[in-house]
Structure 1
């Protein structure tokens, strides 16, 4: 759904840019409460992962494809404020290096793809989390639903901006129907990717999933036929740090493989916005990208004739640049938080206790329940 230059007129693009700047400023401040020494590196990785998966267009209808937007995924993994920054970093890298999404439309893209998706998805996710039973399956189900709704919501936001500042005269009702209709289908793919990714991370390190904090039911042990709360025995710090590094390395390798190799098999059909713009005729206002001569324009490396090699190398470069840029931003935010004395919320500590108990529960449960069984 990357909006190119020329779809939206200058006044509305400037207004959207002002909204985007304000949202990023608020997110920089809010992210201080979300990021710590564990989650800051994960946030940079989330940005790189979103970049990689956005290269994997999947078919959704005849002649149409879709790709991950990423707002829901990032919000659930690292928090809503940090999510806006993650997607904004991705959009900035794509616009500057790969000529994907207009530079004058950067504010429009951040507003639609970073802000709207994040706000809508996280509101739905938190609402479902309050009514569903606490547990991994509920978190995954809530993530699926939130991601599903966030995509057509972004399509509706674009339609609203186009209604105010569209550069071509087309029937608004037809644009709205086509945009929202095709993006409901794209939302199914977004929901599947989001749920699978969130579920995979929860299975390994639930304490690193922002949306899962406080949602895990306390561990119980059976003592003398009664269930009691398990003792909160701290997990060994080196093991936790090692697990964190392994997760980060696995995520980075996965991102590189997706961008460098799996992207070969991505659909070449136009995405939802491109298809609707062509069918309804408002692509006539599109202008050439200011970075069209970039060495990495259109996700290929200039002067490399082999298409697969060129695209794969561009993807690997994109992942590398995004993880470095994202990590630098989130490291700076965390340093600022440490400098002004901001503390992370209490939910983090509670979740750490649950995770620590889980690491030692098997042995404790065995030692407590075996005598009861023998008796």
Structure 2
């Protein structure tokens, strides 16, 4: 759904640029809280969200290269707003998708530079806000189980895509450069993007479900649904003490003998740190495989917006991208004649660049949050307070 230059006139493009800049500024502030683990539902060890958020951006970039067929002569691809919001939080999610769109526009000539505000507003803000609002609403009414998170992810992702199609139609109604029937544009956009939404929902639910299966504590949308670790204050604790509810650690500690306090502190400090390195490496490998290998087999048909634009004539005044002659334009390395190698190498470069930029942004945000609040990392702060 990348909008090229020339679809939307200059005043509306500028207005959406202001909206996008304001939303990114708000997201920067909100992401600091999410990355630092502050606020309701936060957990210890949330500093791991920063490198994971960079990985989420890189993974979205990679999967967006995998266009899948949805109808005769039409394809679709992941937008990623729902996936990012559920994995790392809504504010951080907006930034993840924005980083992806920026890298695509600058390096790969995908999505117009003058339309960057339109694309961020539509693909980063609308999808993330709509998806996360639906997700939170569903999680509240569904049983408090991990499976409910996956179900809610599916529904939220499914509906976020046609929501983005509606948003684009509204933007085009305000600033479209071609005189076409908005009713026809609306019908065509929503119709094809409902189908694309099914693919979006499947990818999102599978990814969220896979992470929950191995490390539910790393899924932002699943926080508060997992059972806390249970601390035994003494190896001599009675069976009655061991069967105490896990959500009453303070009461148990108060009832324990004073002599058990040093043992409890030692047990706490000796608790194993649960690293997210394996999840990070698995996600990176998946992104590289998708971008560097599987992308060669992606559908070559135009995506939903391109198809509708051609059929309805809204691309009459589209302009060539300013970076159309760049070395990585159209996701292919210039001067490499083998299409498989050219596309795969471009994908790998894109994953690496997006990972570097995204991780850098989120690490800086987390450090600024900690520095601004005067917080000092507590001993053992890398441990998660949730079970796997």
What is the TM-score with the length of structure 2 in the denominator? 0.85
* Distance (Å, rounded) in 2 between the aligned partners of 1:267 and 1:253: 22
Secondary structure, counterpart of 1:288 in structure 2? coil
Secondary structure, counterpart of 2:274 in structure 1? helix
Shift of 1:352: 3.7
1:110-167 alpha-carbon deviations (Å, 9 max, x no partner): 0000000000000000000111011111000000000000000000000000000000
- 2:146 is matched with 136
1:326-363 alpha-carbon deviations (Å, 9 max, x no partner): 001001101110111187xxxxx9x94331xx5xxxxx
Verify the 8 A CA contact 1:219 1:229 in the aligned structure 2. no
- 2:337 is matched with 305
Seen in structure 2, the aligned counterparts of structure 1 residues 264 and 342 have a Cα distance that, compared at 3 Å, is farther
**What is the 5 A alignment of 1:116-155?**
116-155=126-165
* Distance (Å, rounded) in 2 between the aligned partners of 1:229 and 1:68: 42
**What is the 5 A alignment of 1:186-201?**
186-201=196-211
Are 1:34 and 2:34 counterparts? Answer: yes
Are 1:229 and 2:245 counterparts? Answer: yes
Secondary structure, counterpart of 2:3 in structure 1? coil
* Distance (Å, rounded) in 2 between the aligned partners of 1:116 and 1:285: 25
Consecutive unaligned residues in structure 2, runs of 5 or more: 37-46, 231-238, 250-266, 376-380
Secondary structure, counterpart of 2:355 in structure 1? helix
- 1:3 is matched with 3
Consecutive unaligned residues in structure 1, runs of 5 or more: 344-348, 359-375
Seen in structure 2, the aligned counterparts of structure 1 residues 219 and 145 have a Cα distance that, compared at 3 Å, is farther
Choose the corresponding residue for 1:340, options 366, 369, 372.
372
Choose the corresponding residue for 2:122, options 99, 102, 112.
112
Q: Alpha carbon RMSD of aligned pairs, Å? A: 2.1
Give the total of aligned pairs: 346
- 1:287 is matched with 319
Secondary structure, counterpart of 2:283 in structure 1? helix
Verify the 8 A CA contact 2:5 2:115 in the aligned structure 1. yes
- 2:357 is matched with 325
Choose the corresponding residue for 1:266, options 286, 290, 298.
298
* Distance (Å, rounded) in 2 between the aligned partners of 1:302 and 1:65: 25
* Distance (Å, rounded) in 1 between the aligned partners of 2:229 and 2:140: 19
What is the TM-score with the length of structure 1 in the denominator? 0.88
Verify the 8 A CA contact 2:331 2:346 in the aligned structure 1. yes
Seen in structure 2, the aligned counterparts of structure 1 residues 11 and 31 have a Cα distance that, compared at 3 Å, is same
Verify the 8 A CA contact 1:98 1:294 in the aligned structure 2. yes
Shift of 1:282: 1.0
Shift of 1:215: 2.1
- 1:240 is matched with 274
- 2:41 is matched with none
Shift of 1:88: 0.4
Verify the 8 A CA contact 1:71 1:113 in the aligned structure 2. yes
1:73-116 alpha-carbon deviations (Å, 9 max, x no partner): 00000000000100000000000000000000000000000000
